[in-house]
Chain A
Amino acid sequence: MYCAPSDKEEPMEKFTKLTGTAAPMPLVNIDTDMIIPKVFLKSIQRTGFGKNLFDEMRYNRDGSEIPDFVLNKPQYRDAEILVAGDNFGCGSSREHAPWALKDFGIKCVISTSFADIFYNNCFKNGILPIVLPQEDVDKLMDDAERGANAKLTIDLENQTIQGPDGGTITFEVDAFKKHCLMEGLDDIGLTMAKEASIDSFEAKAAQERPWV
């Protein structure tokens, strides 16, 4: 298995190790409309969505901040990790959701489960989604509640999360996705290198299913 280097305008950032503040969002079923309300989907760019991340939870109608919202609290304004309730990212396929998280500075989301499409979209944007059992998420949620003094260290290579009091949790991640994230690789280049397989598949399919 090998990967071709990225040739997008901005090569994808590599993810290896991250030490940062984790913000707690215990709510379950945080959906893509909460992450980035659709009124902000009208851009034809990939950047600039960070200021509207969690917009309806984060701001009053007049644009002022809702002080109680976790990312508005001083200790979480620079959070790079989210610890969230079950089924994070459910709803739409919009990649604007990971774009907004990334633009804000979130590089890792931890939950007991993620919606499929969102989970995939994260990897394509250099964000690491981590699935853990409930007890582990509860523990990290506790850590996150302690604010900026409680940084987590995510080590992708060794697949570990180190909490502020030294405890270590290990996590699973698909080997191929891990590799691409660590190397900052672009899928399209990778697939284009397999063009011969696509050509021969196409030729065979045209014989077998000419109506397609």
Chain B
Amino acid sequence: MIWCARCGGALSNRGADRGADRGTDRGTDRGAAPAVDGDAPPAVDGDAAPAAARGGHEACAAALALEPPRFCPRCRRRMKVQVLPTGWVATCVEHGRTQG
């Protein structure tokens, strides 16, 4: 499974995680808010997933042009993000730093 870096919703399924098929987004279609910093968030019923998570995340992709990623695309943990004048650094407690 790959997770949307903006809303934390399911982005695509590589077939490795059956549980992820059920939908795992935890917020509105304007962005999800995890309950616990850095912890793997709990799964919720697929019907509760926002439209963006059920669709192609076009709005998220557009928004990411002006936002740093907030969720780790590998594990969906909420990352610590430092925005700098000419870039950003995002840190996942499990998967380390990415920057752009």
Note whether A and B form a binding pair. Answer: no
